[in-house]
Structure 1
Amino acid sequence: IDALAAARVQVVADSGYRGAGPTFDLPQRRRPADRDTGERRRLSPAQREVNAAHAAQRGPGERANAMFKSWKVLRKIRCCPQRTTALVNAIQTLILAG
């Protein structure tokens, strides 16, 4: 996280990364509770639209991570990053092939 922020890499992340830095795009939070009723205020239609677009951007990456987690060969990998990259690319090709 620190390396991404230091390199000023724009990241689309979930709300668990709140406070990670200005380069992290996060979904809109619900507004604080109303003091009179104690209920949390709903997001405006524009904020809901922003959250939907954010989820659409994050979705493909989340699905790819879920698929990679199902490949046992990646669970205890002990090789250099270049070989890992080649292995991930090969798995991605197999996934896309069918």
Structure 2
Amino acid sequence: METDCLEAVNLWNSRYTDRSVIAPILDEIGELALSFTFFTVQHVMRSAKGPAYLCAKRACTLSVTESWLYSTPPFLISSLLADCSASTC
């Protein structure tokens, strides 16, 4: 999981020794994470979240579910291209 909140990453990494207010939530996330072969929480710069932000913004405006299995939605193409060229993919 990636987040731009460094404090959330630090809380996750210290969840066994630090009993913060959100400890029950971290415990629940830990239980759900057991369903995966590998799970980690890592920090990303806010500027690297362009495509994710656009998807979340789009989801907030929909009254139905959309899925894109075989094509990239038009609203996302330019952001993905910019993200790809920034990371030289």
TM-score bin (small chain): 0.3 to 0.5
Structure with the larger RCO, 1 or 2 (CA within 8 Å, 6+ apart): 2
Please tell me whether Structure 1 or Structure 2 has the larger radius of gyration of its CA atoms.
1
Give the strand-richer structure, 1 or 2.
1
User: Normalising by structure 1, what TM-score?
Assistant: 0.34
